[in-house]
Amino acid sequence: MDIFYRSTRGNERKVTASEAILQGLAVDGGLFVPEQIPAFDKTMKEFSEMSYQETAYEVMKLLLTDFTEDELKSCIRNAYDEKFDTETIAPLAEAEDAYFLELFHGKTIAFKDMALSILPHLMTTAAKKNQVKNEIVILTATSGDTGKAALAGFADVKGTRILVFYPKNGVSPIQERQMVTQKGANTRVVGIYGNFDDAQSGVKKLFADQELAERMQAKGYQFSSANSINIGRLVPQIVYYVYAYAQLLKEERIAENEFINVVVPTGNFGNILAAFYAKNMGLPIRKLICASNDNKVLYDFFRTGEYDRNREFVLTTSPSMDILISSNLERLIYRIAGNDAQKNAELMKSLNGEGRYEITEEMKAQLSDFYGNFATEEECAAKIKSLYEDTGYVIDTHTAVAAVVHDKYRADTEDGTKTVIASTASPYKFTRSVMTAIDGKYDEMDDFALVDELSRISNVRIPGAIEEIRTAPVVHDIQCDKTQMKEAVEAFLNL
């Protein structure tokens, strides 16, 4: 079955998967969604005998139908290799009453690597398939982790350039250092004076700027997006949910056809949407548990049916989730509106204008697969500490949000379904917050001393990604106001 993609905002021309990946965002500002969600053509039992790479092929082939078997397998081979520090790519760790799906074994030690290791390969393959001669310019707004993962993925990839905007005062010291030390002649990193939503809105505006697009075209450039709005990111993220389920089955921790719950620490709604797609493709998931930090827009949305971004933006110790506009939610809205692009476009217009929208009761009734809750800073710190003290297992601040919400869900519902918690970053990426949660005395140590101490108390080897930045020189030192992002693009491309 060939799958085509349409924009969530208009019934414009349908496109192939490779076209959707190249374009990133639809021309009308909508997101590409598959016309149908295909069902798995392998059983969970069959999946349980596959490697990560084999699973990736069997899942991705169903949605990226215009890629040939050779093309897709070559992308997968190039993505999921020794860049990951474990052969299983996404291992499960059991601690307390949950399975932590460790999605941080890639190059930049956050779950973004799962998709951004393969996106450059999908994109250059897509360019070839569509006879694109322009250089692809990846424009990315990051709340910290996407930026580095995208830089690492695209650095020195022929036919591409990458420009990353991050909120100058809104990422962790280690996140910032990872980005500003990025090598690669085709890379640039710019800190903006503004928050993540400013960066993301600015990038969306640049994508929609026709005047800029024309000048770029004349010089042989075109934009694409590595943000989680690109379906080339969404599709690879479905894979690890299938893989996790299959591993549990293989190890006889669950029985055939047994349902599991999934908890996802959520920001832009990409990771949990991938789990939702996995469920719709046939993965036995009961509840999709959406965990927010103090920026609890999504919790309020699931509770009331009203999405309202008019509120204070809170900087937390889980910065990759400090988001008030969860872009990928639009794909879910479109779906619960009955794939009605016009209805969705109206709601998104209201979000753009008034900063809020409300869904109908009928739409709300379709959200019963989801449960939303949130975790405060104190709750997260307490969870990191207690989990460490009880089990020796150290989780990062984002994963802690999920673990707290998992506890709240259990207390609320008494649902004892076995649960996979998406563990989205290595504790080494947020060492200071993690260590001070465990013991206040660590506050006085410098970042790299804390790294060594974390290794000592957790018995986990310091990842290469951290060793690298200890000594790497800063190569990007550019800042601009949130209103000057266009000028930053022009300077990068010599327009």
Ligand X SMILES: *Cc1c(COP(=O)(O)O)cnc(C)c1O
Instruction: Catalog residues that contact ligand X under the rule CB under 6 A.
Output: 110-112, 145, 228, 265-271, 320-321, 398, 424-425
Report in angstroms how near the CB of residue 398 gets to ligand X at its nearest: 4
Report in angstroms how near the CB of residue 476 gets to ligand X at its nearest: 20
Judge whether 128 counts as a catalytic residue. no
Environment class of residue 86 by beta-carbon count within 10 Å: exposed (0-12), middle (13-18) or buried (19+)? Answer: exposed
Environment class of residue 46 by beta-carbon count within 10 Å: exposed (0-12), middle (13-18) or buried (19+)? Answer: middle
Q: What is 420-455 written as a DSSP string?
A: EEEE-B-GGGGHHHHHHHH-GGGGGS-HHHHHHHHH
Report in angstroms how near the CB of residue 433 gets to ligand X at its nearest: 12
Among the listed residues 447, 420, 423, the one whose alpha carbon sits nearest the alpha carbon of residue 433: 447
Instruction: Please name the residues in contact with 81: beta carbons below 8 A apart, sequence gap of 6 or more.
Output: none
Residues 52 and 118 sit within 8 Å (Cβ to Cβ):
no
Report in angstroms how near the CB of residue 142 gets to ligand X at its nearest: 9
CB nearer to ligand X: pick between 129 and 233:
233
Instruction: Please name the residues in contact with 467: beta carbons below 8 A apart, sequence gap of 6 or more.
Output: none
CB nearer to ligand X: pick between 125 and 397:
397
Residue type, 372: G
Counting every residue written for the chain, the total comes to: 495
CB nearer to ligand X: pick between 321 and 345:
321
CB nearer to ligand X: pick between 104 and 221:
104
CB nearer to ligand X: pick between 271 and 317:
271
Structure tokens given for 89: 């790519």
CB nearer to ligand X: pick between 124 and 147:
147
The alpha-carbon radius of gyration of the chain (Å, integer) is 21
Residues 188 and 492 sit within 8 Å (Cβ to Cβ):
yes
Report in angstroms how near the CB of residue 68 gets to ligand X at its nearest: 29
Report in angstroms how near the CB of residue 106 gets to ligand X at its nearest: 11
Catalytic residue among 42, 112, 129, 383: 112
Report in angstroms how near the CB of residue 12 gets to ligand X at its nearest: 26
Report in angstroms how near the CB of residue 232 gets to ligand X at its nearest: 14
Report in angstroms the alpha-carbon separations of 308 from 31, 115, 298, 350.
20, 29, 9, 10
How far apart, in whole angstroms, are the C-alpha atoms of residue 448 and residue 462? 11
Query: Exposed e or buried b for every residue in 469-493, given b needs 16+ CB within 10 A?
Result: beeeeeebeeebebebbbebbeebb
The 8 Å CB, 24+ separation contacts for 201-204 are: 201/325, 202/141, 202/165, 202/482, 202/485, 203/139, 203/140, 203/141, 203/165, 203/227, 203/485, 204/25, 204/29
Instruction: Please name the residues in contact with 456: beta carbons below 8 A apart, sequence gap of 6 or more.
Output: none
Residues 326 and 297 sit within 8 Å (Cβ to Cβ):
yes
Residues that are catalytic: 112
